[in-house]
C-alpha cells in the first residue's frame, strides 16, 4: 500500500473524535497497512493514527523498537483497533514529544509511565498488553489522536514547554 500524506495542524479532522470500527474488513486491513507504511516512511516516526491520514476511525499503529528510547522495552509492531487504556500507573513523567502533524514544534507533555491497553488485532483477536516507558508514552500519544487531542493540548506550560524544532 502507498505511503499516505500526513495532515497538518490545524486540519479539522485532527480535532474530531474518531468512530469505532464495527467490523474488520478489507478496508480496515488496507488502512492498517497504509498506517504501517506511512509510519515506516516518516522521519523518526514511532506511530501513526488514522486521523493523521484523514480517516476518522479508531485505528493506530505503534512500533518503538527502532528508536533508541524504546529499543530495549517494546512489544514490536502494534496494530491497534479500538484501543482502550484500562489502567494508568507508574509515575507521571514529563517527556518531550513531537508529531508529524505538528512538524515545526516539540513540547513537554506529562504522561503515565505504565499503562495497560486492550485492543483488537487485525485478525480480530482481542489483546491486552502492559506497556511502560517510551512505548507507553507513544501509545498514549497515538490514542490521543483518536480523541481529537494533539500533544499541543497537553503541553505542561505554553511559556516554557513548547519548542521550535531545529530540523525534521
> What residues act catalytically?
142
Dump the DSSP string for 45-100: --EEEGGGGT--BSEEEE--TTSTTTTTS--S-EEEEEEEEEEEEEEEEEEEEEET
Local structure of 123: helix, strand or coil: coil
> By the 8 A CB rule, do 87 and 135 touch?
no
Amino acid at each position: 500500500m502507498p505511503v499516505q500524506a500526513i495532515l497538518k495542524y490545524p486540519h479539522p479532522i485532527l480535532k474530531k473524535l474518531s468512530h469505532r470500527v464495527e467490523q474488520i474488513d478489507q478496508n480496515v486491513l488496507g488502512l492498517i497497512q497504509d498506517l504501517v507504511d506511512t509510519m515506516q516512511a516518516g522521519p523518526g516516526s514511532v506511530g501513526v493514527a488514522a486521523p493523521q491520514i484523514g480517516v476518522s476511525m479508531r485505528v493506530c499503529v505503534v512500533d518503538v523498537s527502532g528508536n533508541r528510547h524504546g529499543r530495549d522495552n517494546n512489544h514490536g509492531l502494534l496494530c491497534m483497533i479500538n484501543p482502550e487504556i484500562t489502567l494508568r500507573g507508574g509515575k507521571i513523567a514529563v517527556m518531550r514529544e513531537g508529531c508529524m502533524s505538528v512538524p515545526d514544534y516539540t513540547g513537554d507533555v506529562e504522561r503515565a509511565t505504565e499503562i495497560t491497553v486492550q485492543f483488537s488485532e487485525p485478525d480480530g483477536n482481542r489483546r491486552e498488553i502492559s506497556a511502560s516507558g517510551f512505548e507507553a508514552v507513544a501509545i498514549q500519544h497515538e490514542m490521543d489522536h483518536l480523541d481529537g487531542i494533539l500533544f499541543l493540548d497537553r503541553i505542561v506550560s505554553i511559556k516554557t514547554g513548547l519548542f521550535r524544532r531545529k530540523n525534521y
